[in-house]
Amino acid sequence: MDEEDSRLSLSCVEHGWRYFRLDEETFLFDERSEYLARVDERIARQLPDAAAVLGSASATVGSLRAVLAGMAAQRPDTEPPSVGADTTSAEPAIRQPSVTSLSLLGVRVDVRCGHAACAAGIVAFYSASTVPGGLSSPEVVIWCDWARPGRYLFRSRPDDCAGVPLQGVFVQTLRSAREPWTWTLPPIPPLASWPFRDRFVALHAAMIRTAAGEGVLIAGDRGSGKSTAALRVSERLGAQVLCDETTLIHCRTTLAEPFPHSVGVWRSGRKVQTPITEVCTRIAHEAAPINRMLFLKPGASASRVCRRSRSDALRELLPHHREAGASIGDAMQTLLHLAARTESWSIEYTDRHELVDLVCGLIDT
């Protein structure tokens, strides 16, 4: 993303606007007034400076219509007035940030990092979700002043951290000013904030979509082989991987969104986080319904595949539920939908190679 696109993106978020480019045309949308305008690219580039002066000086502060009218009223040969330092937020600005644009769960998210090493780590973690920055403005901006990407950018903090700001991390959306991140949920993506909040129920599970279009959820405890099964079945049967660790399901449905991120790969006796784009060539980018659920049971003395009842499926799902910004009522109703409407199996196995054979055998039937 170049500097002009970066300034335009940030200005739009601060004023509650959206911009997007389709073919050779640029559009601006004011979410508050529901005003849509097609503008010349030159006007779009001048918008941040004009908005800082004209928007704050108008009676309708932040109105896109008012700012564009003010720009039109200026003489054509007059440059928009220049402005000084940004004063829209009381929080300290991150100087010369590196901007990473992501598409997460259908939402455009910009992460503005004060350190290049942190930005590189975020790109590696979400290597399948990076997008060009100049095609649209973000709905969410995350400000991070960490030197390196820590685990709590991507994983939940302990419960006793609730209400405690995650130092150096701020979240800003089209509907809210820049604020410290105080939730235990990770800030990337900020599932506790608009527009993610109340949309998803999370399961500690992998998910693939077969070549025939069937969605298969693979649930199990940590180290049970979820990632191994998903990646190997993808290689062997041409299935697409939606996620390898956390499956995010739309509330009260069986529809899961792609959420691919880095994968733990065993190297020299230890698990190393590796960009998913380095170990998987078939990554899903569209949502898929869950048609079948597999519950993994490692360490068995003999292999066995068993069909599970709907009540058994619910019991199996409950320990794998994770918080994702939805109410416990929505979460329970979603799990009930899954248990009632989805074919379920448990797989007991002795080793990982055998597990892949068993999963492939079930999918082929």
Indicate whether 61 pLDDT > 60.
Answer: no
Indicate whether 280 pLDDT > 90.
Answer: yes
Has this prediction a pTM greater than 0.85? yes
E strands, 128-245, are: 140-144, 169-173, 176-180, 200-209, 215-219, 240-243
Q: What's the rounded mean pLDDT across residues 290-319?
A: 95
**Bridging pattern class, strands 140-144 and 169-173:** antiparallel
* Helix segments in the chain, DSSP class H: 3-15, 41-50, 56-57, 64-73, 116-125, 226-237, 276-279, 310-317, 328-341, 352-364
Indicate whether 168 pLDDT > 70.
Answer: yes
Helix (H, G, I), strand (E, B) or coil at 116: helix
CATH 3.90.228.20 domain range(s) in the chain: 200-364
Fold of the domain spanning 200-364: Phosphoenolpyruvate Carboxykinase; domain 3 (3.90.228)
Dist CA 321 CA 183 (whole Å): 18
Q: What's the rounded mean pLDDT across residues 305-333?
A: 96
